[in-house]
Structure 1
Amino acid sequence: MSIRAIFEYLMGDRRAILAIASDRKALVVGALLVLSAALARNYDRVWLIHEPWRLLGPFVASLLISVPLFLTIYGFARLKGMEPVGMVRAYGTFLALYWMTAPLAWLYGVPYERFLDPLDAVSKNLWMLALVSVWRVALMVRVVSVIFGMKVRVAIPLVMLVADAAALTALWFIPLPVVGMMGGVSPEQSAVAMTALLVRAWGILSLPVWIILVIWFASNSEDVPEWQVPAEPEPRSAGRGAIVFAGLALLAWASLLPITQPEQLRAHRVDLAYVEGGPTAALALMSGHDRRDFPPGWVAPPRRFPGEPTTDEVFDMLEALAEQPHSDWVEDVYADRFINRLRYDWFEWPAELLDQHAERLAAILPRLRRGPEMVRELDRMAREWGNQSIEQRLEGEPLSESRREALKTFNRLAHTEDESNP
């Protein structure tokens, strides 16, 4: 196997597929490439010392998918009359070919979060996921067609049946946000939720089609599959080049760790401080650094997925901001999150803040540099949905004394900028 064969394989070249399938070193090369793909996925997303299992995730995922895929195809081929071959050796060959698709996952390593806003970064990552998924499925269809001697029209439903079932199973177990038709879920989470909904709908609708096609080909096709990989692979010295290439790819992704992992370590320490010491400890640790010391796409605590932090969690953090010295960038992070949530949770959150939590919020915002801006956005979003503005609430239904004072505080803050800039 040569370095060229790896790239020709990714293009579905028949000779490259058979060259890799018959090379004794293919499993080693594939394993190195899978490890490099794991680094590409995670080098700037998590602190790997704390979560080393993420480097094993692609290996586990490959086994969970490749085993049922191989058994489905091998069982179909035997049912259609293929001569038996050693299943362990055949699966080893199939696994090596599956692992050799790992370079496609290098596309996940593009750090969109560093030069795009969060929503655009999520969108680009989802498009990359779609591209890699379609490419990998198409490549496996080609692999099955070549090494089992099947026609492509037979290989497609076999591969898609397993891929469809795997996707639906993953979506069943992975927690995902619910699509918020009236707000309540951030745009980033909404994009993920909508993508998951479309994949699930496609999977449910297409699964019966693949089942019917597999049954039809099993019952009606007269073509007899034939294992195409030689029984005794020839030793190939050229495999060293492929091993060196895979090793260099692994080192290339690993070379980024000294740049990205210190950011992840600081983010992990803030998360740990929040869990163990609460908002005050987390804010103190954050204020000891600049914003650029943390990952670009990092969301400071509190956070939840799926969903958003509770109102009490948000208020606890804002109270800590009001009560202790902090860097301006830290307040900007939380003020922006507060304002953004008002905008995408416009159906419920503004009314909840003004009706249920007015007193507590009014005790916090006057002590924050960006408090007036936060109040103005709260007032604007309350009007946007047709609720009463702060002034209308003051002039409307009877209010308790404490809530009236809170609304007066909001009203004063809302006009602070106008008074300072006549």
Structure 2
Amino acid sequence: MIVFALPTLASNILQTLSGSVNAIWVGQFLGNSALAATANANIIMFLMFATFFGFGMAATVLIGQAIGRGDIDAARRATGGVVGLALLFSLVIAVVGWFASDAILRWLETPAEAFALAHDYLRVTFIAVPASMMMVTLMMASRGAGDAITPLRFMILTVVLDIVLNPVLILGLGPAPRLGIAGSALATAIAGTISLIGMVGWFYAKNHPLRLRGRELGYLVPSLSELRFIIGRGLPMGAQMLVISGAGLVMVGLVNREGLVTAAAYGATLQLWNYIQMPALAVGAAVSAMVAQNIGAGRWDRVSTVTNSGIAINLAMTGVLIGLLLAFDRAALGLFLGDGSEAIEVARHIQLLATWTFLPFGTTIVLIGTLRANGSVIPPLIILALSMFPIRLGFYWLGYPMLGADAIWWSFPLSSLASVAMAWAVYRRGNWRRVLAQPAATSS
């Protein structure tokens, strides 16, 4: 599991590193208003990707179980179906997002000082959605087939290009135009597009198990049986991410009410939290893929072992990262906010109160990964919906008169503890083991 999870973890770290370096460029060159603008825009983009995430995960279940059975054609059929769906979905999102940018930012109560910058950044980012979504979809499919190395290779390429192009386009170095915050978004778009082209070429050059040729290109139009499975399982999985991202949007709105300093502090905190959650996401993905393949192979005896190992590995890795972050938080936050920023102390306070939330959060992610590997998607949705809204927001509204902004930060660990308790109960007592995911992709 560690060998399989490490390339995914490295890919996630590199992706987050790219975003962090970009935030450093933006914060140092353009100031706190620009940093707050990127935080507002990035949560919106997470929401867009979360909308499609469930379809990709449903296809990954099909791919993993097909690989476990040794049915390569079914794995390719599932890959083609989700890639075709991703292309259509991302084009619609790009067009709608371009025209709805201002309305979305107003709904988020984006601070006036950051509104124009967020507008420019968000619009350019929407242009990049199709290439980015196709890249993410291919990476998910590849991991579902047990190949975590290919996504890592092209994540490295993406990160290198993004880090190099950001200062060039922000500052207008050499012959490049000076684009400011829009240059940061454009650099990310260019890097993602080049990497997507490279990854597709690699699939064909290396005869990757999921590559499509000849009649297989027709798999880009999914059959009705595949579409029913991907949509039927994918909608609840996507809804899980929408619940998380929707709660994130609400929290951004609540933080924005506290003023620009708190918004900038929260933006820097989110950058660091992205690293803390990396082990949970990587291990959760590894657990889900391994459980799906073992279910496909009929090896139910391995499922509990995989899950328990995932929980232990995640707790160890996440615990170490939390300790390092709290030990060096001032230096880390200074990278994004500048050494003299008044937002640093606010961000340190947020870290002390809420960073440990990622221990129960990671355990929940591993348990949910096991459940969804067999197509059990409704219980995780209910768990996340309850923990993110009635519990988290309920605590905020009840606690704010007494705690002020601290009610926001304390709501994070409270909701995570509730979610892990509910997820463990479903894992131990639920009937998810009897809800066998049907390999609909094998139907013609």
After TM superposition, the score normalised by the length of structure 1 is 0.26
- The structure whose residues are more often helix, as a share, is 2
Larger-gyration structure (1/2): 1
| TM-score under structure 2 length normalisation | 0.25
